[in-house]
Structure 1
């Protein structure tokens, strides 16, 4: 029988980040395949294609998007919070020949970095710590422009060591 999960989890942190990003980008539009469109936000992976790529050149495409990936965690000691590394993988689309699609990716990165500078607490319980890193890809992938933001998030430590508590 599996032990009941109590307290805050890394999955809760990931979902809270998704909710925070949806709110942050709610009213923003970016270059899409058929004009401006909203940013899609995915949990852990981009959905697998279910057709023969008929949607790749339409606004039904999954791009532009942010993939919120929970990649690792660490608990340093009994008293400190769990640290969860969330990677925000950003992909924008721009078919123009001037190859300026990286600008949308860069603007999304800046919006994220500035947002968490002003409001490091999200989901009422989680906190974005330091260091905060970002990177723009220089890979040549026609029309697709990639970037990444690595955020170390603190998950509140609300659990107590039951064995120690029983001795007290």
Structure 2
């Protein structure tokens, strides 16, 4: 399943490059690098702070025919922490989404196998979750087909 390789590429290569040197607050109110996760956030532990984060989630995929590219539907879930009582932490989450979106649109082709496609949709969490703020970017991708079996593909 090639979409899992797209997810890995986004988390290991693309996102760290986009946010190199960019810091946001963690729950100790320290400026730290963004954490990047695949599919699920780590289990809660007292000594691990997951905020701020971008979680890259494989939602679904499809193959319409043998002659067309496979598609993958990927969600970028952003979480930030902000204790400011003005309740404006959502702005940091949107800034993160915008940086991701701008990079995806500027580059479009990733790892010579993945093409960002339309539609792209963003959303914020309208529940009150202060001091935690969440937003998401839904993306669609064309994914190259694997035409032969390769046992080493996923290692």
Q: Does 1:121 align with 2:109?
A: yes
Matches of 1:106 and 1:35, distance apart in 2 = 20
Find the residue that maps to 1:88 and give its secondary structure: strand
2:61 match: secondary structure: strand
What is the TM-score when the length of structure 2 is the normalising length?
0.88
- Structure 2 unaligned spans of 5+: 149-155
Displacement of 1:20 in angstroms is: 0.8
Q: Does residue 14 of structure 2 align to residue 26 of structure 1?
A: no
Counterpart of 2:35?
Answer: 40
CA distance in structure 2 between the aligned counterparts of 1:124 and 1:10, rounded to whole angstroms: 13
User: Per-residue CA shift, 1:6-56, capped at 9, x if unaligned?
Assistant: xx7111111111121121112211122232111100010000124xxx34x
Equivalent residue, structure 1, for 2:151: none
Look up the SS of the partner of 1:150 in the other structure.
strand
The CA RMSD measured in Å over matched residues stands at: 1.5
SS across alignment from 1:109 = helix
Q: Distance in 2 between matches of 1:82 and 1:115?
A: 22
Q: Which segments of structure 1 move beyond 3 Å, counting only runs of 4 or more? A: none
Gaps of 5+ in 1: 1-7, 161-168
Query: Normalising by structure 1, what TM-score?
Result: 0.82
Query: Of the two, which has the highest radius of gyration?
Result: 1
Aligned residues of 1:65 and 1:90 also touching (Cα < 8 A): yes
